[in-house]
Amino acid sequence: MQILQVVKAMNVGGLENFVKNMLQYMSEKCDCGCLICDENTSDYEENLLKNGIMIYHIQEPDRTKVKLYENLRSFFEKHREYDVVHCHMAGTNGIVAKAAKDALYAKTNATTRGCFYCMQ
């Protein structure tokens, strides 16, 4: 199984620390990746790369999120290997789930802060 975590950034912080620890734990059991919706290098990237976790970047979403769907769909079309997509971006989780479903053509799960979406 291959799991992709989608985050705004991986800098030092509560959610980011949780995601980092989760990725490190899960990477022992399955293949993991982290899609960062920001083109800048984040604080935890080097640590994740050392643990064999793939790091990807897409352009930071604009205020209207118009380009976010297009950027995500383009990413997912190039990276069809992921079985599960877990989103940690409140307010845009639906956009992430829709882009993953449309591009991956497989069962896609996206969750964020207590919400769970399963699109088949």
> What contacts 113, CB < 8 A, 6 or more positions away?
88, 90
Backbone angles phi and psi of 113, in degrees to 5: 40, 55
Residue type, 81: E
Residue type, 50: K
Nearest 5°: the CA angle 87, 89, 58 is 80
Which is it for the CA torsion 2, 72, 24, 90, positive or negative? negative
pLDDT in tens, 62-106: 877 878 999 999 999 999 898 888 888 877 888 888 888 888 765
pLDDT in tens, 19-64: 888 888 888 889 999 999 988 888 889 999 999 999 999 998 887 7
Taking CA atoms, 69 is separated from 2, 28, 89, 111, in Å, by 21, 31, 13, 17
Question: Edge-to-edge strands of the sheet including 84-87?
Answer: 54-57, 31-36, 2-7, 84-87
Would you state the structure tokens that stand for residue 81, as one six-digit string? 């290997």
